Amino acid sequence: MKPMETAIQKEQNAIRRLIIFLIFIVFYSPIFSQSLLNNTYSHCYGVVDNGTCVIYNFKENGIFEKDVEGELGKTSYAKGHYIVKNDSLVLNYDLTELKYESYFKAQKYFNTKDSIEVR
């Protein structure tokens, strides 16, 4: 029976070594994550009709560009600064410029009188 016991002991030792090795890999190996966003990322949804893709282009100088493209071309565009803070991505759309100036102009009017005069 001794040869049978040694085979079982060898198998148990091999299992223990494998478990210790896996624990070492999981808990003591460095976790690799992406620290820079210098690339282009896209997400597309809709297959045939109304297919839309959102494309983010992150640059090294902390500026990003966002394009939303559909079947008929670019539907919206945005540009701004980005910050990676506490494992969160903060997008500030402060560099977005209008492609054209609108025809609608608004003016504020302040009335300090307490009565209305109708003409």
HSE-up (13 A, CA, CB side) for residue 81: 4
pLDDT at res. 18: 80
Measure the CA–CA gap between 46 and 105, rounded to whole angstroms: 37
Residue whose tokens read 């994550």 = 33
**pLDDT tier for residue 1 given thresholds of 50, 70 and 90:** very low
Compute CA distances 94 → 24, 60, 64, 65, 98, whole Å.
46, 17, 11, 11, 12
Q: What does the pLDDT look like over 27-79, one tens digit per residue?
A: 665 655 566 678 888 888 776 556 788 899 999 888 999 998 887 778 888 99
pTM for the complete prediction? 0.53
